Amino acid sequence: MNQLAISVQDLNLYYGDKQALRKINMEIEEKSVTALIGPSGCGKSTFLRTLNRMNDLIPGVRIDGEIMIHNQNIYDDEVDVEMLRKQVGMVFQAPNPFPKSIYDNVAYGPRIHGIKNKSRLDEIVEKSLRGAALWDEVKDRLKDRATGLSGGQQQRLCIARALAVEPEILLMDEPTSALDPISTLKIEELVQELKKNYTIVIVTHNMQQAARISDKTAFFLNGDMIEYDNTDKLFSNPQNKQTEDYITGRFG
């Protein structure tokens, strides 16, 4: 077994009075892909956002329990949230490039973290774009506006932007739901490449995608994590009736 990248213990999350996550316990190995599935409103995206404290930005959210990354509870007071989000990057559902050039989109994060040297930035931009399997398509037009790229290219640019600050963990919230099948396939193949170096946690509504790309899958329902197992096991022989009903399309 690989080292643990993330260890979640007894995590509860409340939006005001409403409990949105109930006693979640989960261990995620380094350099693996973990898929979170479940019907809308089950808590999977909320859970994903707890992993880099994106929920801190939502008023009325209360969290207890622990999320350990490198033996540090990320909800401890002394944790620098910006450093945490550098370590745990995020890619969203709709590609959201900045209205800047392709180059500046990727260089944005490193610049914020104090890198000014041009050749160092060039290096990071190339490495990140290569890492996101976009370099060959954009290397001759790095100064073009990012918004001129296709949807699939924009999403890979967002992945490159996330990679530019050298995270360890990448969170992806339905990263292909706005993309056509070919762009989706490219992102899925990219995920397989990325897991050699990164730990990836991905929320997807596409169960076949979860089955194709993840090592482990967690099924969420009404704020509970119902089942968490190796993906091939969960999709071929789930242990829980609710999981079976969901993945075979009997509800949800």
Partner 1 sequence: MARHFDQSLQDVKKLLLEMGARVEIAIDKAVKSLASLHVPMAQMVCSEDQKIDELELQIDDTVAKLIATQQPVAKDLRLLIAAMKIASDMERMADLAVNIAQVTIELKENNLGLFKELEDIPRMAKITQKMVHDGINSYIDGNIELAKSLAKTDDQVDQLYFAIIKELTAYLPGSNENAEVALKLCFVARYLERIADHATNIAESIVYIETGKQADLN
Contacting positions for partner 1 (CB under 8 A): 207-208, 211, 235-238, 244, 247-251
- CB closer to partner 1, 8 vs 211: 211
- CB closer to partner 1, 166 vs 229: 229
The DSSP secondary-structure symbol of 168 reads: S
SS3 10: strand
- CB closer to partner 1, 3 vs 237: 237
The DSSP secondary-structure symbol of 96 reads: -
Shortest Cβ 229–partner 1 spacing (Å)? 12
Shortest Cβ 44–partner 1 spacing (Å)? 18
- CB closer to partner 1, 155 vs 209: 209
Beta strand 199-203 pairing with 33-37: parallel
Torsional class of 195: left (φ above 0), alpha (ψ -120 to 50), beta (otherwise): alpha
Shortest Cβ 243–partner 1 spacing (Å)? 8
The encoded tokens of residue 210 equal: 């979860």
Question: Pick from 208, 195, 206, 235: which is nearest to 33 by CA?
Answer: 195
Question: Pick from 29, 4, 2, 33: which is nearest to 210 by CA?
Answer: 33
Shortest Cβ 70–partner 1 spacing (Å)? 35
- CB closer to partner 1, 20 vs 247: 247
Burial code (b: 16+ CB inside 10 Å, e: under 16) for 13-22 equals bbeeeeebbb
Shortest Cβ 235–partner 1 spacing (Å)? 5
